[in-house]
Amino acid sequence: MTLLMIFIILIFSIILHECAHGLVAERCGDPTARQAGRITLNPIPHLDPIGSILLPGIMILMSLFTGSGFIFGWAKPVPINPYNLNDPKRDMMWIGLAGPAANFAVALFLTLVFRLLVISASSLGAKILFYGVALNLILGFINLIPIPPLDGSRILSGLLPEQYAYKLSRIEPFGFMIILILLISGLLSPILMLVLRLSSLLTGMSL
């Protein structure tokens, strides 16, 4: 039940993340995401058969036997046409920042709800709010890592000279493999532990 709850929170947190990309792209002159029906809270258009269903499903089943609780996944990236943007280099930075910013905003909102509601720390509602805060902080911080296709690479590319931005973009075909290796090897564990501590600090609760 806990793993299923985490999975549902993760899916909708990723959807909000992708919607934020599309909304900012639209504000910057690119209506592609709107035209593709991707600025919606309906999960169906955002689901990636492998990243949203198959891989998380397998990891949930593995967690039932191993007790690891480790789940990884992604949604379909929101389509963006940089040729429609008012200032492609600058606007791609804002579009990249929008996703993590949305997750941080959701984490802050859920923290306020947690603090305002008088609920027992052992209740289901408290656990849902805590996981909501933690997962959104994790999504925000992980996506700021400057490895393509993570959002941090878009931000960094906007700051780098063109020749270095191009070199960074060439890593993208190997990006998910690099991220998986970092997660499985434990090299990202300090970030995850920091996020859990921050979640505990914000909510006054730990799991």
List, as one string, the DSSP characters of 170-189. TTGGGHHHHHHHHHHHTTTH
| Sequence-separated contacts (24+) of 37-44 with Cβ below 8 Å | 38/76, 38/78, 38/79, 41/12, 41/15, 41/16, 43/11, 43/12, 43/15
Report the candidate in 192, 180, 89, 71 with the shortest Cα–Cα distance to residue 138.
Answer: 192
Please tell me the predicted confidence (pLDDT) of residue 68.
56
Average pLDDT per consecutive 10 residues, the chain (207 residues; last block may be shorter): 75 92 97 95 86 73 62 81 94 96 96 85 83 92 93 94 92 88 84 88 81
Dist. CA 97–CA 21, nearest whole Å: 8
Q: Which residues are catalytic?
A: 18
Dist. CA 13–CA 146, nearest whole Å: 20
Longest dimension (CA), the chain: 55
Query: Do residues 146 and 168 lie in contact, with contact meaning Cβ atoms separated by under 8 Å?
Result: yes
Please tell me the predicted confidence (pLDDT) of residue 49.
82
Please tell me the predicted confidence (pLDDT) of residue 198.
92
CA 40 vs. chain centroid, Å, equals 16
Following DSSP, what letter does each residue of 95-148 receive, concatenated? HHHHHHHHHHHHHHHHHHHHHHS---TTSHHHHHHHHHHHHHHHHHHHHTSSST
Backbone dihedral region for residue 29 (phi beyond 0: left; psi -120 to 50: alpha; all else: beta): left
Domain boundaries, the chain: 2-203
Please tell me the predicted confidence (pLDDT) of residue 207.
62
Query: Do residues 193 and 134 lie in contact, with contact meaning Cβ atoms separated by under 8 Å?
Result: no
Dist. CA 38–CA 34, nearest whole Å: 6
Report the candidate in 108, 131, 127 with the shortest Cα–Cα distance to residue 119.
Answer: 127
Please tell me the predicted confidence (pLDDT) of residue 117.
84
Please tell me the predicted confidence (pLDDT) of residue 188.
84
Dist. CA 104–CA 99, nearest whole Å: 9
Please tell me the predicted confidence (pLDDT) of residue 122.
77
Identify the DSSP state of 87.
Answer: S
Dist. CA 103–CA 99, nearest whole Å: 7
